[in-house]
C-alpha cells in the first residue's frame, strides 16, 4: 500500500477537525481554552510551513500564491483570538453569562469554524469550496446565538436566513460555472477544479459566465457584508460573544471575499466575458458610503465597529474591482491591515463591555482615565482604523485613493468622500468614549492585552516600514490577480 507523504496542507484540516472532536468531549474551561489555544497555534505553524513547502495541486486541495496569504492571515488571527478568547470566556463564566456546557460547545464550534475556513481557502474545487463556506456559516450562526437572549437568537436567525439565501445564490452561480466549463473540460471533476478551470477559462461560454458571476457576486457578497445584503452583519457582530465578532470581521468576511476574487480571476481570464470590475466597484462604493453615514447613528459600541467593517470591506472590494497591480496590492494590504486592526479593536471592546457592563455608547465614557491600558489601546485602534498615520491602514487607504486618482479620477471623489464621512464619525465617537469624565464601572477584568497590543504593533510596524520580502510577496500576488 502506498502511504501518502505527510503534507502541511492536510494538517491544516486535520488539526482543527480533530480538536473539534476532542473539545466536544472535554470539560473545564481552563483545559478546553488551553487545548483551543494550542491547536490554533499548531494550525498557524502549519500555515507558515506552506510558505516554504508547497505541495502539488490535487483534485480537492491546492496551494498557490493567493490562498497562502489568506490562510496565513486567518490562522494567525484564529490563533491570537483563541488566546484572547480564553480570558474573555473565563470572565463570562465567572459572571455566569455562559454555562460550562455552553463553553464546551463554543470551543468545539470554534475549531469546526477554523476547519471550514481552511477548507474553503484551500479547496481546489468550486463545489467543495461552496460546501465549506456553508459549513462555516452554520458554525458561526451557532456561536452568534450562544447567549440565548432574545436579541442573540434574533441576530442568529437573521444571519442564518440571509446567509442561507446568499449561499443558495452562490450555488446557482457555481452550477452555471460548471455548465460553462463542461463542454470544454468534459463531464466530471475536471470541470469543477480551479486549476483546470483557470487554464481553460478563455474557451468557456462567456454569456453563461456573465450570468454566473452576477449570482456568485450577490451570493458570496452577502457573506462579505456588502450593501444592500449587509443586514445580518451588525446584529451578528453585536449580539454574539466578542471573540466571534473578532473572527467574523477578521476571517469570515475575508473567506467570502476570497471566493469572489477567485471567480473574478476566472472571468478576467475570459476576454469575451463582462469585466467583473464595475459590479465590484459599485457594490464597494455603496457599502463604503452607506456604512459611513450609518456610523453616525449607532448607539451600541459593537454595532459601531460592525458598520466600520462593512465600510472597510467596501473599500477592499472597490480596490479589487479597480484591478491592476497597484490597486490589487492596495486591496490585499488593506484587507490584512483591516483584519488585524479590527480584531484588535474587538479585543479591546470585549473587555471594555465587560468592565462597564454595557455595550451602550452613551454609558461608556472616559476610558483612558478609568482603564488606561484598554482605553489607550482603543484610542490607537480607532485611530488606525480611521486611517490616521502612522498606522498601516493609512498607507493602504492612501494607496487605494492614489491609484484610483491615477486611473479614474471621477471615482476617487465618492471614494474620498466616503472615507472622510467614516473618519469623522469614528473620531467623534472616539473622543466621547476615551476622554472626559469616566462613567461607572461594574467590576474588574483580567484583561489579556498581549494579542491586542501585538496586533496594533504589527499594524504600526507595517505603517512605518513594510518589510521588503512581504512587499514583494504581496506584489507577486497582486500581479496574479489581474
Q: Which residues bind another protein (CB under 8 A)?
A: 125, 127-128, 130-131, 134-135, 138, 141, 148-150, 153-154, 156-158, 160-161, 164-165, 168-169, 171-172, 175-176, 178-179, 182-183, 186-189, 191-192, 205, 207-208, 210-211
The DSSP output letter for 4 is P
246/255 with CB nearer another protein: 255
Q: Could you tell me which of 222, 225, 394, 223 has the C-alpha nearest to residue 313?
A: 225
What ranges make up the beta strands (E) of 96-218? none
Determine the Cα–Cα distance for residues 338 and 208; give it in Å rounded to an integer: 34
Nearest distance from C-beta of residue 18 to another protein, angstroms: 21
Number of neighbours of residue 355 by Cβ within 10 angstroms: 19
Determine the Cα–Cα distance for residues 166 and 367; give it in Å rounded to an integer: 39
46/130 with CB nearer another protein: 130
138/379 with CB nearer another protein: 138
Phi and psi at 193, nearest 5°, equal -90, 125
Nearest distance from C-beta of residue 245 to another protein, angstroms: 20
Sign of CA dihedral 201, 72, 28, 106: negative
Nearest distance from C-beta of residue 276 to another protein, angstroms: 16
Nearest distance from C-beta of residue 226 to another protein, angstroms: 18
Q: How far is CA 327 from CA 107, 213, 315, 385, in A?
A: 38, 21, 11, 19
128/289 with CB nearer another protein: 128
The answer to whether the bond into 390 is cis (omega within 30° of 0) is: yes
Sign of CA dihedral 186, 192, 193, 196: positive
Nearest distance from C-beta of residue 292 to another protein, angstroms: 25
Nearest distance from C-beta of residue 134 to another protein, angstroms: 6
Nearest distance from C-beta of residue 30 to another protein, angstroms: 25
Nearest distance from C-beta of residue 244 to another protein, angstroms: 17
Q: Could you tell me which of 423, 160, 91 has the C-alpha nearest to residue 289?
A: 423
Helices (H) and strands (E) in the chain, counts: 20, 0
Kindly tell me the burial class for residue 361, based on how many C-beta atoms sit within 10 Å of its own C-beta (0-12, 13-18, 19 or more): middle
Q: How far is CA 314 from CA 27, 54, 351, in A?
A: 41, 32, 28
Nearest distance from C-beta of residue 74 to another protein, angstroms: 21
Sign of CA dihedral 469, 471, 474, 476: negative
Nearest distance from C-beta of residue 445 to another protein, angstroms: 27
For residue 125, the SS3 value is: strand
N- to C-terminal Cα distance for the chain? 43
229/447 with CB nearer another protein: 229
154/440 with CB nearer another protein: 154
102/365 with CB nearer another protein: 102
135/435 with CB nearer another protein: 135
Nearest distance from C-beta of residue 293 to another protein, angstroms: 22
Q: Could you tell me which of 220, 221, 183, 225 has the C-alpha nearest to residue 205?
A: 183
Give me the residues paired with residue 4 across strands: none
99/271 with CB nearer another protein: 99
42/274 with CB nearer another protein: 274
Determine the Cα–Cα distance for residues 285 and 318; give it in Å rounded to an integer: 6
149/402 with CB nearer another protein: 149
Amino acid at each position: 500500500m502506498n502511504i501518502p507523504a505527510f503534507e502541511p496542507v492536510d494538517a491544516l484540516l486535520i488539526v482543527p477537525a480533530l480538536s473539534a472532536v476532542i473539545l466536544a468531549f472535554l470539560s473545564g474551561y481552563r483545559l478546553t481554552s488551553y487545548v483551543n489555544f494550542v491547536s490554533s497555534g499548531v494550525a498557524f505553524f502549519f500555515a507558515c510551513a506552506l510558505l516554504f513547502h508547497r505541495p502539488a495541486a490535487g483534485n480537492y486541495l491546492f496551494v498557490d500564491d493567493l490562498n497562502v496569504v489568506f490562510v496565513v492571515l486567518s490562522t494567525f488571527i484564529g490563533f491570537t483570538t483563541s488566546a484572547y478568547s480564553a480570558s474573555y470566556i473565563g470572565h463570562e463564566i465567572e459572571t455566569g453569562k455562559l454555562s460550562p456546557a455552553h463553553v464546551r460547545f463554543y470551543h468545539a464550534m470554534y475549531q469546526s469554524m477554523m476547519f471550514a475556513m481552511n477548507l474553503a481557502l484551500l479547496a481546489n474545487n468550486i463545489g467543495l469550496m461552496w460546501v465549506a463556506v456553508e459549513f462555516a456559516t452554520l458554525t458561526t450562526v451557532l456561536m452568534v446565538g450562544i447567549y440565548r437572549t432574545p436579541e442573540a437568537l434574533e441576530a442568529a436567525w437573521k444571519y442564518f436566513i440571509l446567509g442561507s439565501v446568499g449561499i443558495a445564490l452562490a450555488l446557482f452561480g457555481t452550477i452555471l460555472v460548471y455548465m460553462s466549463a463542461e463542454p470544454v473540460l468534459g463531464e466530471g471533476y475536471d470541470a469543477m477544479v480551479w486549476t483546470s478551470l483557470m487554464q481553460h477559462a478563455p474557451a468557456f461560454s462567456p454569456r453563461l459566465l456573465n450570468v454566473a458571476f452576477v449570482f456568485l457576486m450577490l451570493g458570496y457578497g452577502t457573506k462579505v457584508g456588502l450593501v444592500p445584503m449587509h443586514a445580518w452583519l451588525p446584529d451578528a457582530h453585536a449580539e454574539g460573544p466578542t471573540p466571534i465578532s473578532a473572527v467574523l470581521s477578521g476571517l469570515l468576511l475575508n473567506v467570502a471575499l476570497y471566493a469572489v476574487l477567485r471567480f473574478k480571476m476566472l472571468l478576467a481570464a475570459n476576454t469575451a466575458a463582462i469585466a467583473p470590475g464595475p459590479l465590484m466597484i459599485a457594490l464597494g462604493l455603496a457599502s463604503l458610503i452607506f456604512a459611513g453615514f450609518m456610523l453616525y447613528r449607532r448607539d451600541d459600541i459593537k454595532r459601531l465597529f460592525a458598520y466600520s467593517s462593512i465600510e472597510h470591506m467596501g473599500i477592499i472590494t472597490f480596490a479589487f474591482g479597480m484591478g491592476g497591480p497597484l490597486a490589487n496590492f492596495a486591496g490585499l494590504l488593506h484587507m490584512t491591515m483591516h483584519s488585524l486592526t479590527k480584531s484588535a479593536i474587538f479585543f479591546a471592546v470585549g473587555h471594555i463591555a465587560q468592565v462597564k457592563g454595557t455595550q451602550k455608547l452613551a454609558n461608556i465614557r472616559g476610558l483612558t482615565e478609568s482603564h488606561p491600558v484598554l482605553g489607550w489601546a482603543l484610542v490607537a485602534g480607532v485611530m488606525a482604523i480611521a486611517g490616521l498615520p502612522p498606522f498601516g491602514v493609512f498607507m493602504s487607504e492612501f494607496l487605494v485613493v492614489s491609484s484610483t486618482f491615477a486611473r479614474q479620477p471621477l471615482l476617487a471623489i465618492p471614494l474620498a468622500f466616503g472615507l472622510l464621512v467614516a473618519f469623522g464619525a469614528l473620531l467623534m465617537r472616539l473622543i466621547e468614549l476615551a476622554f472626559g469624565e469616566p462613567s461607572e464601572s461594574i467590576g474588574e477584568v483580567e484583561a489579556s492585552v498581549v494579542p491586542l497590543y501585538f496586533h496594533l504593533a504589527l499594524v504600526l510596524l507595517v505603517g512605518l516600514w513594510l518589510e521588503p520580502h512581504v512587499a514583494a510577496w504581496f506584489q507577486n500576488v497582486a500581479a496574479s490577480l489581474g
